[in-house]
Amino acid sequence: MELGPRGLRLLLNLYPPYLFTRTKVKSISSDWRECVVELKKSLLTRNYVGTAFGGSLFAATDPFYMLMLIKILGIKDYIVWDKAAEIHYQRPARSTVTYRFVITDEALAAIRRDLEATGKSLPRFEVKGLDREGHTCVTVVKTLYIRKKDRGVRSADDEAPG
């Protein structure tokens, strides 16, 4: 069964790691190019000094770019994995943090050029976590691994890249 944006949003919002940490997918665009996620500060996401725990801030960004690209490119034709990630903390998160994941036309065109030229792509995406006042609390950079599937041939590349 193929899930549309609304179905995937509902499923993710019931996923226990998101449910218990009060991570909520607010919206997914019909073309899969934009996704908005909120992390509410709660007893389970608060650290010793009362701000959002860094691990929760980071976990709230996973696996949205991967899912968006799988839906855009097609899971039957492409392998898409998170390859690397980095997090940069700018200020303590004392309120709800909102992430807006966007895949631009330019990024998608670059991915397709890479796939055509080399058979794989390693795009990097940046997402900022903004507090209620619009201040950047955290910036997360994700590197993804994308390649076209070989029909009927399963290889080590079908597994997550190391």
| Secondary element (H or E) of residue 34 | strand 34-39
Rg (CA), the chain: 17
Please count the residues of the chain: 162
What confidence tens digit (pLDDT) does each residue in 102-127 have?
Answer: 999 999 999 999 999 999 999 999 99
Query: pLDDT class for 150, splitting at 50, 70, 90?
Result: confident
What confidence tens digit (pLDDT) does each residue in 6-60 have?
Answer: 999 999 999 999 998 899 999 999 999 999 999 998 888 899 999 999 999 999 9
Q: Please, what is the angle between helix 105-118 and helix 64-73, to 10°?
A: 70
Burial environment of residue 95 by CB neighbours within 10 A (0 to 12, 13 to 18, 19 or more): middle
- Whether the full predicted model's pTM is greater than 0.95, yes or no, is no
Domains and CATH numbers, the chain: 5-157 (3.10.129.10)
- Going by C-alpha positions, the residue among 58, 52, 65 that lies closest to residue 92 is 52
Which residues sit opposite 128 in a β-bridge?
139
